[in-house]
Structure 1
Amino acid sequence: MRSRYSTPELNNRVVASHNMNNASSRSHCIFTMNVEQSSSDDFNNVVISKLQLVDLAGSERVGLTGNTGVAYKESIDINKSLLTLRKVINGLADKKTNQKKAHIPYRESKLTCLLKQSLGGNSYCLMIACLPPSDFYLDENISTLTYATKASYISNTPNRNEDPRMKIIHELRKKINSLEKELKAANDH
């Protein structure tokens, strides 16, 4: 799966076959793009944003995959990180719907540590669930839809990310311009 936007890391992603999936990705993939934006009239006022695209490895019922050895351990590790992600999503959703103070276990997995700002922080978050159109995967599809439904209850409040010093400088410049206009208007009368 090569494209002009692929990176060597994406091209080196391990994929393996098992009883439930001919091309099962054996890891999660996180693509992070940092974007800096400045206006043409004030290059010092920089807004910094981060876009993360995440492709999660699928949850696997180990008994049905037929995996053994290294593939078995990969399945266990994938399921552990997805379980922690589920705990984080449940905790954040419960916190928003019930207004409870819940412990959010971000630090239980590398995946949730990396996604902390996207899931419960200063950002917009959208989850897209991919489902195979087959009755054979009914249990997995129900689980995925439950997961996605719970994620839809998370509501973050994004704020503009500005360097606080630059924000103060920008506000002071606006104040100076305003005072200069007032002074000019007073001198013209």
Structure 2
Amino acid sequence: MIDLAGSERASNTKNRGLRLKEGAAINRSLLALGNVINSLSSGAKTKFINYRDSKLTRLLKESLGGSAKTCMIAHVTQASGHFEETYNTLVYAARANTIVLKV
């Protein structure tokens, strides 16, 4: 199980220094994962899927494009202060839901 929480704006978290760098690295990995999910959900069979952009996508290669059975749980909130994050999570999950694995 992998927890993908952490895609937050630096201005919202008020992180500085090392925490800011860690957050930026997490967000880069999540962006790479989003790119892989977009490529897989587009349905193009001959399109190159770049799993090499981050360690996260390399680790998840077999789960996303291989022969594994995969489950994604999207955690959202109804709080109006987190509308944008909730919306982005639902869009991300909807794209991931369109991936068809050959098991």
Q: TM-score range by the shorter chain?
A: over 0.9
Q: Which residue of 1 aligns with 2:84?
A: 139
Show the counterpart of 1:129.
74
- 1:73 alignment partner, one of 21, 32, 56: 21
Distance 2:28 2:16 in 1: 17
Question: In 1, are the aligned partners of 2:74 and 2:90 still within 8 Å (CA)?
Answer: yes
Runs of 4+ aligned structure 1 residues displaced above 6 Å come to none
The residue correspondences of 1:80-99 to structure 2 (distance < 5 A) are 80-94=28-42, 96=43, 99=44
Q: What stretches of structure 1 of length at least 5 have no aligned partner? A: 1-52, 159-189
Post-superposition shift, 1:85? 0.3
Q: Kindly indicate whether the alpha-carbon contact (under 8 Å) linking 2:6 and 2:23 is maintained by their aligned counterparts in 1.
A: no
Higher helix share: 2
Asked if structure 2 preserves the Cα contact closer than 8 Å seen for 1:84 and 1:108, the reply is: yes
Structure (1 or 2) with the greater strand fraction: 1
1:110 and 2:55 equivalent?
yes
Inter-partner Cα distance in structure 1 for 2:93 and 2:64: 13
> Whole-Å Cα distance in 2 between the matches of residues 84 and 67 of structure 1?
22
Partners of 2:38 and 2:74 in 1: how far apart?
A: 16
Work out whether residues 118 and 124 of structure 1, in 8 Å CA contact, stay in contact via their aligned partners in 2.
Answer: yes
- Return the offset for 1:124: 1.5
- Identity between Structure 1 and Structure 2 (%): 46
Coordinate RMSD, CA, aligned: 1.1
Q: Unaligned regions of 5+ residues in structure 2, if any?
A: none
Q: Normalising by the residue count of structure 2, what TM-score does the alignment of the two structures yield?
A: 0.94
| 1:182 match | none
Q: Give the number of the structure whose alpha-carbon radius of gyration is greater.
A: 1
> How far apart are residue 131 of structure 1 and its match?
1.0
Using the size of structure 1 for normalisation, the TM-score is 0.52
Q: Distance in 1 between matches of 2:36 and 2:59?
A: 12
Q: Are the counterparts in 2 of residues 92 and 120 from structure 1 also a CA contact under 8 Å? A: yes
Residue number in structure 1 paired with 2:93: 148
Residue 56 of structure 1 corresponds to 4
- Number of aligned residues: 103
Counterparts of 1:91 and 1:67, CA distance in 2: 32
